[in-house]
Amino acid sequence: MSALPVLLLLLVSTPLTSGAQLPNQGQDKDLPIATNGEPFPWGRMRLPTTVFPLHYDLTIHPNLTTLDFTGVVRIQLDVREDTSAIILHAKHMQISNVLLLAPEGVRPLRLLEYPRFHQLGLLSDSVLIKGRKYEVQLEFAANLSDSFHGFYKSSYRTSSGEVRVLASTQFEATFARGAFPCFDEPAFKANFTIQIIREPRHIAISNMPKLKTVELPGGLLEDHFDTTVKMSTYLVAYIVSDFLSVSRTTQHGVKISIYAVPEKIDQTAFALDAAVKLLDFYDDYFDIPYPLPKQDLAAIPDFQSGAMENWGLTTYRETGLLFDPDKSSASDKLGITKVIAHELAHQWFGNLVTMEWWNDLWLNEGFAKFMEFISLDITYPELHVDDFFLEKCFEAMEVDSLSSSHPVSTPVENPTQIQEMFDDVSYDKGACILNMLRDFLTPEAFEIGIIRYLKRYSYQNTVNSHLWESLTNVSLKIKVIKFTVYRVLDWYSGDELDVKAIMDTWTLQEGFPLVTVEVRGREVRLSQERYLKTDDPSLTEGFLWQIPLTYMTSASNTIHRFLLKTKTDVLYLPEDVDWVKFNVDMSGFYMVHYAGEGWNSIIKVLQHNHTALTSNDRASLIHNVFQLVSIGKVKLDTALELSLYLSRETEIMAVTQGFGELVPLYKLMEKRDMAALENQMKGYIVDLFRGLIDKQEWSDSGSVSERVLRSYLLLFGSVRNYPPCLTKATQLFKQWKDSDGNMSLPVDVTMAVFMIGARTPEGWDFLFEKYRSSLQMSLKSRFKAAMAYSPLQDKLKWCQSLHGEVMKTQDLPGVVVSVSKNPHGYKLGWDFLRANWNTLIKKFDLGSSTISHMVTGVTNQYSTKEMLDEVRSFFGSLTEETGSGMRCIQQAYETIEDNIRWMDNNLPLLQAWLDKHSRRTIHEDL
């Protein structure tokens, strides 16, 4: 921990005559002032390490009528240095009756509050002596939060229109302190014994099973829960609701239950199956039994993020857990399974072994994201989850290519900075560098190493280096095992393996490398630099990575390996080749530029025999070549020539990446007055994929990847007014509407049908009525998306409502971003964000991924100097309290600047190429 070490405290503190110390004694001039005007005995945001909690005895009584709660907490303490002050956290609550329970008796403590750091100081008039056992007891009261964190109010409407209220928790990262006084940092692990007082019409659930229920005066009930294992405060959870549940037991004897509102309990069967299968998988894979007797999964009607891994009681958005086999799509199934896999992986990575501080959040989130793919590949092979992994790496590169990015492991102090760590770098880049390391060490060595890491640090807190040590030791042993010796020789060339030295270059510096490859006969010249979207070359200097390069050639299918540790190096091929492809299957987190004739060689392969390369290789080539246009390494016409091969592409990752690079080009034009070029570009993309679109049936047949791709292609064809799609979608919407929504549409085509239906006022109103009355979560999501993409401006304004009466406030950020992507609504999204900024940051919290998603999602397609000035003017007017320092604002500026640069540099080229291509197409047709 980076709180002041005990030794340093002793050096800077002046002992009291009694031999005790205040944590900040001797620095009075720097001490903050408590709410009562006295000096507060601690001046840092991080808690001192003089006192640690051992056990919390917590009783909570929420009142779902008055929407407040009261409670009492007794905390058993481990005093590690003589002190006369206990510093802990509490936020927005009234504290009373603060007592010290000492060996010599009970006495009151003086209470000081410092709201800026959410800290309480409990001052004793005599010394708390190192090594002796003490307890403190505090009574507290607060309102249920009306945000989505702390102990907060949620509600739902029954089909008869009755509104029902429940209370649920969300404590990650720094919100347990809003529910009860506690040491709210991940390294202050303790055991928790929880009692919850409720009315008979509700149930209460928490991390552990209920032991007994006691009747209290006044008709109330008190549920007593078993004591938890040793864990961090952010993992504590409890819910008071009228939920129903379904249960099953795993092969390892763990009871799994899914909780949901009564009218949706019939949508829980799939999640129950998935949770049982995945918990059994992790139990075996990690070779560590799941340590609790039960695992509950609860679908909360109001939930800001996707889900939360509270130990033994994971919580989810309803869309992340509820599944209807008749109305949910293939991508719904994939999404639900991935989120359950993610949260259950956390029961080991994050809960059992926890990062010491939030700077290493990636140890939790990168691993859970990575394990989604490892676990589902084995437990649900039919989902073809590998088809979707690259997308995570491309999303991470998008953020990591900006100068406002941050290292995977980066210093953070205040709650806003901590919240900002929950981003694509911690999750997706974290997962991608773990995937690279697994490929580098071999899956066998990697699995042995992470099991060793989990076993060695169970119930403890870790830093980056603990993981690298666990993996280095295993890998060194595996060097002598016969079956991997060929891999080791490939990589290490006799050098001693140092996983830490390699991985520090990926976790302690931001960004990622661009490897330039130039083939001259059998000589391959390599160089590395930082890939950065900027016009300031000085920002790319001083970066060096140890890069596990992989490559294959036209002459052999063997994957060759080479660890590039220096700025430049040379490889020698055993024979002449027509082409070389580096970063095989894009298992490494780097881009590749093929200098000289390299790109032309690649384009020839793709045009004449694209299946010589895997679909992941093809997707990464599409991604790399278009990204290299952004920094001027490749001319736009080279990238567009490469894209021509897509007319023969059928695999989901390569097709969607083709769309992912081409569609944003006309989205930038939509924000400028250039309809002719914009329509030319749209026409090119439709033309490119017409053959594949024509092959799609309007049905639900095929594998998950085929179904997800079908949904994507038919939606694109319909929205772009491609006549066969437009006609079919219009006809299906009319039939569906005429049947009052009772006709059974193929799930895969519903998005296209609803999007076309939402274009007319009558169609939009019909979708709205269906949205209002539906209890089916994935169907509601599709209604909502279609309504937000309507060309009808007055309807789009309705979508952006803060009242939450029909559309849940949790869904608002996604809708605002959808409206902003709509060519008829992009200014509406921006105007809404500005007008409601203060309300939004209060509801969704400064630094949260929700706010970040809104800021970047609303602005990232702007491409004019006027819009950049408008965005700068608004965000420049904010104060620190209203978010001026947030990283997402810098990302927004950089992205718009990059868009402007791209348009200025490439529009004439794009116009010329499209003119030439359309002439070429006409000539070919003749």
Active site residues: 343
Residue 879 token pair: 């104060």
Mean pLDDT of the chain: 91
Q: Quote the pLDDT of residue 477.
A: 57
pLDDT classification of 1: cutoffs 50, 70, 90: very low
- Non-local (6+) Cβ contacts of 261 within 8 A are 156, 164, 241, 242, 243, 244, 299, 301
CA torsion through residues 760, 766, 770, 773, sign: positive
The rounded distance, in Å, linking the Cα atoms of 607 and 367 is: 38
**What confidence tens digit (pLDDT) does each residue in 130-153 have?**
999 899 999 999 999 999 999 999
The rounded distance, in Å, linking the Cα atoms of 150 and 172 is: 9
CA torsion through residues 302, 303, 307, 310, sign: negative
Beta-bridged to residue 530, according to DSSP, are 513
pLDDT classification of 804: cutoffs 50, 70, 90: low
User: What is the topology classification, in CATH, of domain 32-242?
Assistant: Immunoglobulin-like (2.60.40)
Q: What is the mean pLDDT of residues 673-683?
A: 92
DSSP annotation string for 581-610: EESGGG-SS-EEEETTTHHHHHHHHHHHHG
pLDDT exceeds cutoff 90 at 123: yes
Length of the chain: 926
Q: Quote the pLDDT of residue 258.
A: 98
| CA-closest candidate to residue 428, choices 402, 397, 450 | 397
Beta-bridged to residue 296, according to DSSP, are 257, 313
Q: What are the sequence ranges of the domains in the chain?
A: 32-242, 243-383, 721-790, 793-925
**What confidence tens digit (pLDDT) does each residue in 543-578 have?**
999 999 999 999 988 999 999 999 999 999 999 999
3-state secondary structure of 861: coil
Q: Which residue has the tokens 């029961």?
A: 347
**What confidence tens digit (pLDDT) does each residue in 389-417 have?**
999 999 999 999 999 999 999 999 899 99
pLDDT exceeds cutoff 80 at 925: no
CA torsion through residues 806, 812, 816, 819, sign: negative
User: Given strand 83-89, what is the order of strands in its sheet?
Assistant: 83-89, 119-128, 110-114
pLDDT classification of 803: cutoffs 50, 70, 90: low
CATH architecture of the domain with residue range 793-925: Alpha Horseshoe (1.25)
Q: Quote the pLDDT of residue 19.
A: 38
Q: What is the mean pLDDT of residues 612-640?
A: 96
- What class, spelled out in words, does domain 243-383 have in CATH? mainly alpha
pLDDT exceeds cutoff 70 at 496: no
Q: Is 90 left (phi over 0), alpha (psi -120 to 50) or beta?
A: beta
pLDDT classification of 921: cutoffs 50, 70, 90: low
- Non-local (6+) Cβ contacts of 223 within 8 A are 195, 196, 198, 204, 206, 210, 212, 213
- Non-local (6+) Cβ contacts of 628 within 8 A are 514, 591, 593, 634, 639
Q: Is 362 left (phi over 0), alpha (psi -120 to 50) or beta?
A: alpha
Count of C-beta atoms within a 10 Å radius of residue 881: 11
Least confident of 117-131, 587-601, 615-629, 819-833: 819-833
The rounded distance, in Å, linking the Cα atoms of 110 and 95 is: 11
pLDDT classification of 797: cutoffs 50, 70, 90: confident
Residue 178 token pair: 């809003």
SS3 of 53-108: EEEEEEEEEEECCCCEEEEEEEEEEEECCCEEEEEEECCCCEEEEEEEEECCEEEE
pLDDT exceeds cutoff 90 at 285: yes
CA 516 distance to own-chain centroid = 31
pLDDT exceeds cutoff 50 at 484: no
| Integer Rg of the chain from CA | 29
Q: Quote the pLDDT of residue 512.
A: 97
pLDDT exceeds cutoff 50 at 603: yes
Binding residues for Zn(2+): 342, 346, 365
**What confidence tens digit (pLDDT) does each residue in 755-765 have?**
999 999 999 99
pLDDT exceeds cutoff 80 at 482: no
**What confidence tens digit (pLDDT) does each residue in 6-20 have?**
222 222 222 222 334
Instruction: Report the percentage of the chain scoring pLDDT > 90.
Output: 85
Q: Quote the pLDDT of residue 538.
A: 82
The rounded distance, in Å, linking the Cα atoms of 242 and 64 is: 11
Residue 863 token pair: 């491409």
pLDDT classification of 537: cutoffs 50, 70, 90: confident
**What confidence tens digit (pLDDT) does each residue in 104-114 have?**
899 999 999 99
Which amino acid, 553? Answer: T
CA 903 distance to own-chain centroid = 30
Q: Quote the pLDDT of residue 534.
A: 85
Q: What is the mean pLDDT of residues 174-200?
A: 98
